[in-house]
Structure 1
């Protein structure tokens, strides 16, 4: 009998390790108390505090049943492990967070990862999802762009493994694993299925990195075979950037490793209006962090009442939907989009001269009119 169990174990260990778990977006009920939810709020650096204040004002006017646990953390000066531990513990306790950008200094030891990366890894927020969609009222080179960028969020070039083997020669390790590649591919196809999407494109550089990106592409192809109703193709990352600029409409859902996701995601955000207008989310099996789709602190306009709160407000609306507070989230998202469509109140990045406060008040007025 022992030999039989050992033999069966050997057989199963040799089978392809394709994960079949699906990802739920239902409300994390453990964070709800008396009909209210407690959410971790990390304003971050640059314009983050102004954006966080905008969300609080809109939530107050919309009577959103959310209480914020504020954590004042700066990526520029917070290197104390206790600070990171406090943030991670808060998100684990509440299940959900809304976060501004924590800046990452260029200087520092080679093994020091940014607080953003630390949080994503420690909480296993393996999927970054950015919905890049043109909005009526925002000028863009292409109309009717509607792309989902899904980025593996925990490995790749962001592993923080660098060293100088001899003076003048630096080795930077890119870590790609089959388990995590399969997991993000499965997430992308599940997302496409749930949201009625028709095509998934895997982005890679397998022609050069034949082992690392070759394995990622192989994982995507194997997962794609489980979803015959979803069209699948793949594209080399440099060609992808050119194709996005010339013909973005050919893309639907895109899935890719970590670094390519950062680059392609920012490109897509630029196609639809810039960093101020797109929301993003980082999802794991147990926790979620919502933020702007492009991680730019915009320190040059910090404290000047010039920041565009659109992206953060839409991220907050996505967070409410995640919490099961869909009517509140839909009201806020619709009010933001109504202000943009009317075109009467625009911040500088949208071609206007409205202040952050004036824009927020326009959103509030829409909420009061609609509610």
Structure 2
């Protein structure tokens, strides 16, 4: 009997529909090749949902995501929505989706593809062989803490957010980090600011406590400012980086540039149960939307993570990743990765080359 999986697609805004079309084409091809089927349910989210329904995350979209085996999100956001109240902006829909699906663990792998070593702004000897994983806590910290807001008093305006974590929130993300480190090279570096932040001291205390459950994993701690420096100074020292929500948001985008372009990195957001959310870490790039200039690679690699983690289709995931490596090795590039001697392609043409590499 052929396995069938339900995938909720969230194309979103900007370049989202373009890269979603490429990923869907490749998912269809690789699923046929490996003998399973995918049923898609496309739903509006972000600016597209605001235009259609007046809210960034309609209840029907969240319900469709909950009913899926996995969710594939492209990108959301546009400057045209920046004047809306914060709770009505596209980004609030993303926070709501993470909370609504209970997605507390964000995984962002950074692995240097050999064909792209020269695309990085860092020297070959710095980035060659980099293979690290950022494990970011996703539903706590300063993005979700209360109280938050703005007040006016004595002729001045004051804005405030609260960085807060409870022990159980730290414990569960720490366990994810240790488990993944145990499956990789056995090294976990926990990033905090324990020298000045009480919440970071609790983070460090709890990570130390959970370490007792994983004695085979080597644990180290690093202040976030030093971690930011070390990522560009000597990134090969890292295997798994465990971070809070805010620090992980910043550090994973910094780590993305090791690969030469933020357009190359996928991510997975997971909870204790239910479907995972898979998405590229880049934004919606409204400045190039509709111009066939987007890089679909991160979306395709996110689809590979969906296959591997969300559907347990390891061989299909490996085929997609190999198609990306073969296409780049053949010298095909989108504009963000263009280098001398390479062939520049648009989003659709890159999708065709990826499909050819997959079918080869």
Give the TM-score, by structure 1 length.
Answer: 0.85
- Is the counterpart of residue 40 in structure 1 residue 40 in structure 2? no
Tell me, yes or no, if the aligned pair for 2:57 and 2:94 is still in contact at 8 Å: no
Q: CA 1:106/1:201 → structure 2, altered by over 3 Å: closer, same or farther?
A: farther
The aligned residue for residue 93 of structure 2 is: 115
Tell me, yes or no, if the aligned pair for 1:136 and 1:340 is still in contact at 8 Å: no
Q: CA deviation at 1:80?
A: 4.3
CA distance in 2, matches of 1:254, 1:173: 23
CA distance in 2, matches of 1:336, 1:308: 12
Give secondary structure in 1 for the equivalent of 2:47.
coil
- Is the counterpart of residue 124 in structure 1 residue 102 in structure 2? yes
Tell me, yes or no, if the aligned pair for 2:46 and 2:56 is still in contact at 8 Å: no
Structure 1's consecutive aligned runs of 4 or more residues displaced over 6 angstroms after TM superposition are none
Segments of 5+ residues of structure 1 without an aligned counterpart are 1-32
The aligned residue for residue 72 of structure 1 is: 44
Tell me, yes or no, if the aligned pair for 2:268 and 2:302 is still in contact at 8 Å: yes
CA distance in 2, matches of 1:87, 1:255: 31
Please point out which of 315, 322, 327 is paired with 1:339.
327
The aligned residue for residue 312 of structure 1 is: 299
The aligned residue for residue 234 of structure 1 is: 221
Give secondary structure in 2 for the equivalent of 1:100.
strand
Give secondary structure in 1 for the equivalent of 2:40.
strand
- Is the counterpart of residue 325 in structure 1 residue 303 in structure 2? no
The aligned residue for residue 98 of structure 1 is: 72
Q: CA deviation at 1:363?
A: 1.1
Q: CA deviation at 1:202?
A: 0.7
Give secondary structure in 1 for the equivalent of 2:344.
coil
Give secondary structure in 2 for the equivalent of 1:174.
coil
Q: CA 1:353/1:82 → structure 2, altered by over 3 Å: closer, same or farther?
A: closer
Tell me, yes or no, if the aligned pair for 2:28 and 2:38 is still in contact at 8 Å: no
Q: CA deviation at 1:156?
A: 0.8
How big is the alpha-carbon RMSD for the aligned residues of Structure 1 and Structure 2?
A: 2.0
The aligned residue for residue 62 of structure 2 is: 88
1:1-371 map, 5 Å: 35-62=3-30, 63=32, 65-75=37-47, 78=50, 80=54, 83-103=57-77, 105-109=81-85, 114-138=92-116, 139=118, 140=120, 141=122, 142-159=127-144, 161=146, 162-165=148-151, 166=153, 167-193=156-182, 195-209=183-197, 211-286=198-273, 287-292=275-280, 294-322=281-309, 323-343=311-331, 345-351=332-338, 352-369=343-360
Give the TM-score, by structure 2 length.
Answer: 0.87
Q: CA deviation at 1:81?
A: 5.5
The number of aligned residues is 333
CA distance in 2, matches of 1:73, 1:269: 25
CA distance in 2, matches of 1:196, 1:312: 24
Work out which of the two has the higher radius of gyration on C-alpha atoms and give 1 or 2: 1
CA distance in 2, matches of 1:261, 1:249: 18
Segments of 5+ residues of structure 2 without an aligned counterpart are none
1:252-293: CA deviation from partner (whole Å, max 9, x where unpaired) = 10011101000000000111122211110001122200011x
Q: CA deviation at 1:43?
A: 0.6
Q: CA deviation at 1:99?
A: 0.4
Instruction: Decide which structure has greater helix share.
Output: 2
Tell me, yes or no, if the aligned pair for 1:275 and 1:296 is still in contact at 8 Å: no
